[in-house]
Amino acid sequence: MVLCLIFILELPRFLTNNEGRNLLLTVLNAIEFVTFFYILSDVFYEVAVKRGFKAAHMGLIKIYVLFSCFIVLTAVTIFMLASLGVIRPHDYPMPPNLSMNVASNARDLGTEYFFPLHLTVVTSDDRGLPFFSNFGVFCGLSHEPHIATYLVTPAFFFMFALDWSKKAKYILSIFFIFFMLMATSTTNLIAFAVVLFFLIIINIKNRHDTLLNIVFLGLIIAFLSFAFINDLGVSAIQTKLDASSGTSLDYSKNFLSHVVSPKGFWGDGAFNVPFPNAGVKDIGILFSILCIGFYVLLLIGSVRLLFSPARVIKLMGAGSLYFLLHTLKVVQLSLIYPFTIFIMFYMLIGYMAMKGKIYKTD
């Protein structure tokens, strides 16, 4: 409902202040969101009618998880082949003008892009993480590592809701974590660690696989302690978190500050993003309230799912919470990403399952 208001109120804002994002793009964005939601709903309904609620729910989750597994496994495979000397990723430069975002980063930041065997994108950046940064930064099928992890990491949590064997899930989880380290997105690593920590604590509290979760928590603490003592990539993360101008933290702070510091009533609207040199200065009081309200409502919803006694719904909450924490890096962009509708749809299905007590409690 709040998202609909943001789109609807963009019309009078644009007529009042005819600047910034083209109104046609906003209309097309709204049509895209409605169409995507309709397709998800229609597919879910058709499968639910024929095979039941659980089959429809797990079927849609499986498609997303399999796609994410493809991104992760192909990236790790390329890394392994490069480590064995079978291929050299930098021998596969990405074709020019393949992507506007790639061209922009190459022009403005001097980033070199490579596309080994047309399976995964690799950049020339070196983020200082030993071993994992030997060939640059891996971005999956995206132009930036934080976007790659933003799209695939919820699948890490959703995967454990599927009826696959525990062995397969644990093996795939190792590949997911390996990919996160190859991408070296500070936002991803922090958000993932926070959600994983809360999920483990909740599982221990609910006495679900208590011993396994305690051992897992101990291994995580031991690994982090070892990394800090030996400075295994810690300095690289500290550099990213440096508050000075131009760093990742500074970039994220500017986005957040723009949302929570409105000046005029209409401002530039919710869809005019304050990229460097974009000239966007004011989101507007109305759109600031709506954006914050939209985010807070989703955050409350994901936390409620996370504390559900049913394991499947709890994992839906964990994946959704990760998405929302990572979204803090680029709050306004979530308003134009179809992935937001995707996550909202799964949250809705999670609530339906929780209210209908579809899944048994732990």
Task: For the chain, list the strands marked E by DSSP.
Answer: 113-114, 122-123, 137-138
In angstroms, the CA 212 to CA 222 distance is 15
Per DSSP, what are the bridge partners of residue 113? Answer: 123
Q: Looking up tokens 């790790």, which residue turns up?
A: 76
Containing structural domain, residue 353: 1-41+242-362
pLDDT score recorded for residue 239:
56
pLDDT in tens, 303-327: 999 988 888 899 999 999 999 999 9
**Class of residue 207 by CB neighbours under 10 A (exposed 0-12, middle 13-18, buried 19+):** exposed
Domain-located, residue 271: yes
In the predicted model, residues of the chain with pLDDT beneath 50 are 226, 243-245
> Alpha carbon of 47 to those of 33, 50, 348, 352: distances in Å?
21, 5, 17, 16
Kind and range of the H or E element at 188? helix 186-205
pLDDT for 244: 47
Compute the Cα dihedral for 66, 68, 69, 75 and give only its sign: positive
Number of domains in the chain: 1
The answer to whether residue 139 is domain-embedded is no
CA 102/CA 143 separation, integer angstroms: 6
* Chain segment 267-279, per-residue pLDDT in tens: 777 777 776 666 6
Residue 29 domain flag = yes
Does a structural domain hold residue 291? yes
> Would you state the pLDDT for residue 142?
87
Q: Is residue 274 part of a domain?
A: yes
Do residues 202 and 153 make contact, with C-beta atoms less than 8 angstroms apart?
A: no
30 lies in some domain: yes
Cα–Cα distance between 141 and 67 in angstroms, integer?
11
**pLDDT at position 277, please?**
62
Task: Report the predicted TM-score, pTM, of the whole model to 2 decimal places.
Answer: 0.87
Does residue 191 lie in a domain region? no
pLDDT at 227: 53
Per the DSSP assignment, residues forming a β-bridge with 138 are: 122
Residues 201, 296, 337, CA angle at the centre, nearest 5°?
100
User: Quick one: pLDDT at residue 260?
Assistant: 81
Residue 150 lies in a domain: no
Query: Measured between alpha carbons, how far is 117 from 79 in angstroms, rounded to an integer?
Result: 12
The answer to whether 270 and 287 have CB atoms below 8 angstroms apart is yes
Q: What is the pLDDT of residue 26?
A: 81
